[in-house]
Amino acid sequence: MSFLSIEELKELVEQPQGICVSIYMPTAQLGSEIQQNSVRFKNLIRQAEAALEKYESPPANPEQFLQPAMMLDEDDFWQHQDGGLALFISEGFFRFYRVPIDMIELVVVNTSFHLKPLIPLLSGDNRFYILMLGQRDVRLLEGNRYGMTREVEIEGMPKSMDEALQYDEETSKDEQRRQGAGAGRSALQAGGSYHGHGGGRENVKEELLRYFYLVDKSLHDFFRNRRSPLVLAGVNYLLPIYQEANTYNFIVEEGIQHNTKERTAQELHAEAWAIVEPLFQVDQQKAIDYYHESIATGKGSNDLDEVIQGAFYGRVEQLFVPVGVQKWGYFDRDSMQIERHNEAQPGDEDLLNAAAIQTIFHGGTVYAVEPGAVPDEAPVAAVFRY
Identify whether 64 is part of a domain: yes
Identify whether 100 is part of a domain: yes
Q: Is residue 146 domain-shared with residue 273, that is, in the same domain?
A: yes
Q: What's the pLDDT at 188?
A: 34
Cα separation of 363 and 145, whole Å?
A: 20
Residue 105 has a CB neighbour count (10 Å cut-off) of 13
| Ramachandran class of 55: left when φ > 0, alpha when ψ lies in -120 to 50, beta otherwise | beta
Q: Dump pLDDT digits (tens) for 148-162.
A: 888 999 999 998 888
* Region of poorest pLDDT, from 42-56, 114-128, 226-240: 114-128
Domain limit, last residue, from 91, 114, 137: 114
Q: Is residue 132 domain-shared with residue 274, that is, in the same domain?
A: yes
The enclosing domain of 60 has a CATH number of: 3.30.960
The number of domains in the chain is 3
Q: What is the mean pLDDT of the segment spanning 334-363? A: 88
Identify whether 36 is part of a domain: yes
Strands, DSSP E only, in 259-364?
300-301, 316-322, 328-332, 337-341, 349-350
Q: What is the mean pLDDT of the segment spanning 351-375? A: 90
Q: What is the mean pLDDT of the segment spanning 21-33? A: 90
Q: Is residue 140 domain-shared with residue 48, that is, in the same domain?
A: no
The enclosing domain of 338 has a CATH number of: 3.30.1330.30
pTM of structure: 0.66
Residue 323, SS3?
Answer: coil
Quote the domain boundaries for residue 26.
1-114
Q: Is residue 108 domain-shared with residue 131, that is, in the same domain?
A: no
Domain limit, last residue, from 278, 310, 333: 278
Domain limit, last residue, from 214, 244, 278: 278
Q: Is residue 219 domain-shared with residue 197, that is, in the same domain?
A: yes
Identify whether 286 is part of a domain: no
Identify whether 304 is part of a domain: yes
Q: What's the pLDDT at 190?
A: 37
